[in-house]
Homo-oligomer: A and B are copies of this chain.
């Protein structure tokens, strides 16, 4: 797209009340807009990044055989009362409001209860199991503190998946498959090397247990103990001699790191479906409760973690898989000749399916270079009088300081 058509502009300063590093950069570069603490809008660049993350997650969930749905935000209190989670003493992040008839309604901070309730219409016998459903849904959570930018929001996009199984074995098998799919998601997004599966409860694989996916991140709110060589990490809460010994390791084998939770997976066993009354008739003719597990990834949170992990003093450094564009094409000093070559290159790359942000604005060299570094697109191409003299363009990766001149007609080969 032509940058002159992009309505957002970069800014030198983030809002004075913004304390988070990821939000400061994302606001300055024009990816998000702040409505209030913990509430942000997605502007065109941010919308593209989130869609790129979403696409990767979506592909992995579909590969697991999950069907996509979307549940309402508005929540029926009668459903949540069945498990005691309507009570604010149990769940302290509810936003609640009232219908015109004075009945209370809630806004979804999670969706286990309504999904289990809904499934009662569709699951009757063992023939109907297993079933996997997922959604990309806007959660609302009334957080006390909302100071980590888009890492902890009052409103955020989450992928949540739910597995309904007939047996503990089937549930556990899907739990393991999803663990692999999640590892794949983080690898594809560019966080593979620094993301670890940690046991959140320290429990064994019996009934209820859960795991987290933690990404090492200076600005994270959690702490994990990591052995990078063996790719093992332990949550702070259960980091002790006993846990370490069970792994056949020693306390000194682990380093303390700050981290951000980017995903979590949870096995409810049969407890949730027993509470809610979701059961099925098994092969033997008896009625049994359904096994449930749930699987979350914070989509907008991931954008924040990526910015905290991949940025430098000049701006964001997007990993290729989720960058808003692949190439940032800049013209320095807009002569007719420069504009003509740039235009041609822009069309050539775009037609080849390469996403290009073309800075065709009438701005100074300094402004263009600074904006380019701030926005953080993986490849920068510069066309100037100097490069034209040798029928070349200047190519630089955002993640490297190396600059090279390549012939204009070789650009497509290099970037395709």
Where the two chains meet, the residues of A that have a C-beta atom closer than 8 Å to any C-beta of B are 5-9, 11, 30, 33, 35-36, 39-44, 47, 65, 67-76, 95-97, 99-100, 105, 107, 114, 118-119, 121-123, 128, 131, 133, 138, 140, 142-144, 154-155
Residues of B within 8 Å of A105, CB to CB, are: 36, 95
Q: Closest B-chain residue to A48, C-beta based?
A: B68
Residues of B within 8 Å of A107, CB to CB, are: 97, 107
The oligomer's copy count stands at: 2
Residues of B within 8 Å of A42, CB to CB, are: 69-70
- Which of A11, A99, A128, A144: most chain B CB closer than 10 A? A99
Q: Closest B-chain residue to A44, C-beta based?
A: B67
- Compute how far the CA of A131 lies from the CA of B118 in the bound complex, rounded to whole angstroms: 42
Closest beta carbon of chain B to A413's beta carbon, Å: 30
Residues of B within 8 Å of A123, CB to CB, are: 7
Q: Which of B142, B144, B155 contacts A73 (CB 8 A)?
A: B155
Query: Is the beta-carbon distance between B100 and A97 smaller than 8 angstroms?
Result: no
Residues of B within 8 Å of A68, CB to CB, are: 44, 47
Q: Closest B-chain residue to A33, C-beta based?
A: B118
Q: Which of B44, B69, B73 contacts A138 (CB 8 A)?
A: B73
- Which of A35, A99, A144, A154: most chain B CB closer than 10 A? A35
> Which secondary structure characterizes the binding site on chain A?
mixed
- Compute how far the CA of A258 lies from the CA of B411 in the bound complex, rounded to whole angstroms: 60
Residues of B within 8 Å of A131, CB to CB, are: 7
In the A-B complex, the 5 residue pairs with the closest CB atoms: A95-B97, A7-B131, A44-B67, A41-B71, A42-B70
- Known: A114-B41, A118-B41. Contact between A67 and B35, CB under 8 A? no
- Which of A8, A33, A44: most chain B CB closer than 10 A? A33
Residues of B within 8 Å of A142, CB to CB, are: 97, 99-100
Query: Is the beta-carbon distance between A73 and B8 smaller than 8 angstroms?
Result: no
Residues of B within 8 Å of A99, CB to CB, are: 142, 154
- Compute how far the CA of A131 lies from the CA of B143 in the bound complex, rounded to whole angstroms: 34
Query: Is the beta-carbon distance between A155 and B39 smaller than 8 angstroms?
Result: no
Q: Closest B-chain residue to A71, C-beta based?
A: B41
Query: Is the beta-carbon distance between B118 and A72 smaller than 8 angstroms?
Result: no
Q: Closest B-chain residue to A157, C-beta based?
A: B70
Query: Is the beta-carbon distance between A35 and B76 smaller than 8 angstroms?
Result: yes
For the complex with contacts A30-B122, A35-B114, A41-B69, 20 further pairs of A-B residues with Cβ separation under 8 Å are A33-B118, A33-B121, A35-B71, A35-B74, A35-B76, A36-B76, A36-B105, A41-B70, A41-B71, A42-B69, A44-B68, A47-B68, A47-B70, A73-B138, A74-B154, A97-B107, A99-B142, A100-B142, A100-B143, A138-B138
